[in-house]
Structure formats: C-alpha cells, structure tokens
A and B are shown apart, each in its own frame.
Chain A
Amino acid sequence: MSATIDYLLHLADNAVVLGQRDAEWCGHGPILEEDLALANVSLDLIGQARLLYQRAAELKGDGTTEDQLAYFRDSQAFRNYTLLELPHHGALVGYAVADRDYATTIVRNFLYSALMVHVWDALQTSADSELAGIAAKSLKEATYHLHHSRDWLLRMGDGTDESHARAQAAVNHLLPYTEEFWTVSPAETAAVEAGVGVDVRTLRAAWDALVNDALAEATLTRPQVRGYVPQGKVGLHSEHLGFLLAEMQSLARAHPDGCW
C-alpha cells in the first residue's frame, strides 16, 4: 500500500511541478496561441496531479486531502524529477537574455512528454485499477503535449540561426537532467514489485528513439551526457523548487481552512 502511495506521489509531484512552471507563461506567452497552449498543457498536468493526489489520499485513508498533499508538504517531501522544477532559463543557456526562454520551456516539455507517453501507456495495465484509469486519460493528454512540443522543437531547431542556437543551448542544458529518469528510486522499485509501477529502464530505448528522431529532424545535436545524476525523485532538489513551492503554496498556507 505504501509503495503505491509513494509512487503516486512521484507521478503527482511531477505533474504539479511542471504544471506550475508551464502556468508561469499564462499572460506572458510569446504569442497569444502559445499563451493558450501552455495554459492548456498546464491545466491537463494539474488535472492529472489532482487525480493522482486524490488516489494517494484515498489510499492513506487517514483523512489526508489532495490539497494537503499539494500545498502542505515541503520541498524535501516532493518526489518530482529535478528537470521539472528548473526555471525557464539556465546558466548554460547563453542566448537567453530574458527571464524566460521559450526554447527551454519547449525542450523540457518535449523531453518529459516523450517519457510520459510511454509511462502512461505502460501504466494502463497497473495493478492499481484507479491508476490504470488515470493513465488511460493522461496518455491522451501527453500525446497532445508531445505533438505540441515536438512541432515547436522542429520549428526552432530548423528555423533561424537565433532559434537554432537557443534550442541547442536548451538541449545542452536540459538533457543531462534526464539521466534521473533511468536511475530507479526505492519507491519505483517497490511499486514495480507490487505490479503497480513500470520499470522506467524498459522504456529507455523507446524514449531514445523518439528523442533522437526529433533532434535529427530539428537539425539539433544530442550532447554527450555524463557526470552528476540529479536525485529529485528521492527528495534531493535544486534550490529552485523551494521558490516554486513558496509561490504555489502561499495562498493555501495563508488560508489553511479555505475552500472553494
């Protein structure tokens, strides 16, 4: 039971953190259509997070609510990939002159949705029937997110010198963080043993094929990756998550008994 809860929290934290990041574009999109697109992607992700938190709360069975799981846990308790909490720019994005670099946003959404189409596809047969139901819905949404981010990756990579350089810088910056996908956490191992989760290592070849194909079509180069492997999914986060949560959780913590 606790293996299932930990695994659900990993999936939910991924969705809520990226949902929060993507929502930061609301009202700031580079064009109106992309403003709407990112808000829609964010809405899907937050919807997925809600379903997953609701299921985790139900399994905990101690009166915990979805809001408590999202708004009243601190960064060490979050089990999301470090990739998803990073700001929309990075130290290595040499061409980013503004606070937010759209190439960084798009590349992150691409790398994550390219993983999640495979994760959700596999979880449709999870031993937890509720999770299987959530996976079937989320797969449809992740497919649209993948199409959206892949289209923009091609447009930027195979676009102007400026857009190509920014897309390449974003790939160079973010790809090393994806190593975390393939280093299995204790929670994932327990969930796989319980028949609830999927062994992500079995999805690596399919993810690689998707990523390599898109990068090649976008005329981008896949950088060699080695070195430190982030460990967000065991609770060791970058400094960015604390700031993200401070903003996301402030309203709920200011009004702890508030309801809609």
Chain B
Amino acid sequence: MTTATLEQVWVALEGLTDPEIPVVTLRELGILRDVRSGPDGLVEVVITPTYSGCPAMGQIEDDVRATLESSGIAARVITQLSPAWTTDWMSDVAKEKLRAYGIAPPHQTKPDVSVVRFMRRPAAEPVACPQCGSTHTVVSSQFGSTACKALYKCLDCQEPFDYFKPY
C-alpha cells in the first residue's frame, strides 16, 4: 500500500460529516483518527467513539463503510477507544463552523486537575452566545438535545442555544 493510496482514502472520507451536526466533518471533530496500512496490507480506517452511548456512532460507522465501498476501496474499519476522544481534538476551523451554525463551541478541557476537582464545581467559564456574541448567558440544563451538548440561554438577545460541552 503506497502513501498515495492512503491519501486517496483520506480524500474519499474527507467529505463525511457528523450525522447530527452536518456542518463539521468527522475528521474535523476528531472522530476519524487515522488511515493506515494494516499488517496484512489492507487499509485500516480508525474511528473513535465520542460519548459511550452516542447513538450516532452506528450511523458514522455505516457512513464510513458505505463511502469506502462506493469509492471502490477495500478497507477495515477499526473502532478504537484509547486514547479517549476529547473535544480538544476539534480543529479551530470546526469550532468556527459550529459557532456559525448556532452551536457554541467547547472550551478547552482541564485534564490535569486532580480528583479534588470534584469537590466543588469550578467557576464556570462564560459561554458566548453564538448569535450575538454576548457572554451574558445562563445554563438551562447540563444535558441538551444530544449527549454532547448542554442547553444555554442568552440573556441579551434572549436566544436559547446549544453549547458543545468540553469532554
């Protein structure tokens, strides 16, 4: 398997978007982790689940398989748990696309804080309204329309909006 061929697989999969957030691609979200040559020479496409119970993962795997098939590419799809997916893998371009789509993009996670962080909830970073940019916003619910989003409301423009939670 030559590098050029792996590049073709990347190109074939480049257009695949998230089933629930159709403005960002799987690659931009960090779900599509790798395209590589397997030990037997077969192409391996590595994807990683977001939330453990994300119902979109089955659809994503199907979409990857269907795209590979329609492009005439023989490949194996591998679901890899480790390292665990994080919203930090989301590219800046993807975050900007989310904002334009009306979803506030995630803040950076803070992975190095010890378990003591669970004692009290840390002061929440302000989440900017994707419509008007105001940080005068409140959380309506930590759990929103999908596993990965929280529900917010802007107190200036009064618009309710989704916030892609840091994970």
Contact = CB atoms under 8 A, between A and B. Distances in A.
Interface size class of A (residues with CB under 8 A): 35 or more
Contacts of B52: 44, 47-48, 50-51, 134, 137-138, 141
B151 A33 contact: yes
A137 B118 contact: no
A213 interface: yes
A151 B143 contact: no
Contacts of A51: 52, 81
A121 B111 CA distance: 12
Contacts of A144: 142-143, 165
- Tell me the dominant secondary structure on chain B's binding face: loop
Given A136-B83, A143-B118, A44 B53 contact: yes
Given A37-B142, A41-B143, A133-B82, 7 more contacts: A33-B140, A39-B143, A40-B147, A46-B53, A117-B118, A132-B82, A140-B167
Interface of A: 33-34, 36-37, 39-41, 43-48, 50-51, 114, 117-118, 121, 129-130, 132-134, 136-138, 140-141, 143-144, 146-148, 150-151, 206, 209-210, 213
23 contacts: A33-B140, A33-B141, A34-B141, A36-B145, A36-B151, A39-B143, A40-B144, A41-B143, A44-B52, A47-B51, A50-B53, A117-B118, A133-B82, A133-B83, A134-B52, A136-B82, A136-B83, A137-B49, A141-B51, A146-B118, A147-B142, A151-B121, A210-B118
Interface of B: 49, 51-55, 80-86, 115, 118-121, 140-145, 147, 151, 165, 167
